[in-house]
Amino acid sequence: MARLHISKDEWDRRLRNVQVSKQDLDRLVMDYLVIEGYKSAAEEFCQEAGLDPPVDFQSIESRVEIREALRRGDVESAITQVNDLNPEILDTNRGLYFHLQQQKLIELIRQGRIAEALQFAQEELAPRGEESPEFLSELEQTMALLAFGTLPTCPPELSELLSPAQRTKTAAEVNAAILESFSQGKEVKLLALVKLLCWGEGMLEQRADFPSVKADLGIGGSGK
């Protein structure tokens, strides 16, 4: 099958014919501000655009504070704030609560509080591992960290637990759970649209030469 060739002028003409309402664009912007945690900007934009608030704006600030608490390793504060925001989040999500307890154990080990960490693991995490076999591998890996602590000889797969990326991973999981509890998407819709764009262009590249939007955005593409 012969490849199609779409000139830039034709491509631009087709793009101009695509109608996107201002309301849809406003909602995309609001979605981004809410999910990324820009409370003040979301409040101002909501007023300027005449939109109904998609969530309680105070919950945005609380969610950001929880995320930052986890990123600095303050798990107890994060758990307290999650419960203040919505106690059902941890009551109904065993996996999330386990990962928060796991993060608390990691922080105790990071601080060198080994005796306290061992007691916490035995009293809090071990019973959860027995009740839920799906957590056993993660529990065993974290418990193995007790033998090494922060020693230079700590295996790479264990030292990753002590990295900032582990805190960020836990914070992201909590953030997603909070968003879901407020019936809000877990991922910025604009990002989902970019992924859809990349998929669509990938399909089109198999049949045609055209000015790639992906290339204009600096995310790859044929650039033809």
pLDDT of residue 186: 67
**Predicted confidence (pLDDT) per residue in 36-88, tens digit:** 888 889 888 888 888 888 777 888 889 999 999 999 999 999 999 999 999 99
pLDDT of residue 214: 59
pLDDT of residue 57: 84
Residue ranges of the chain whose pLDDT lies below 70: 1-2, 150, 183-186, 213-224
Type of residue found at 204: L
Tell me the DSSP string of 1-50.
-PPEE--HHHHHHHHHT----HHHHHHHHHHHHHHHT-HHHHHHHHHHHT
Picking from 125, 120, 108, 23, the residue whose alpha carbon sits closest to that of residue 73 is: 108
**Predicted confidence (pLDDT) per residue in 123-133, tens digit:** 888 887 777 77
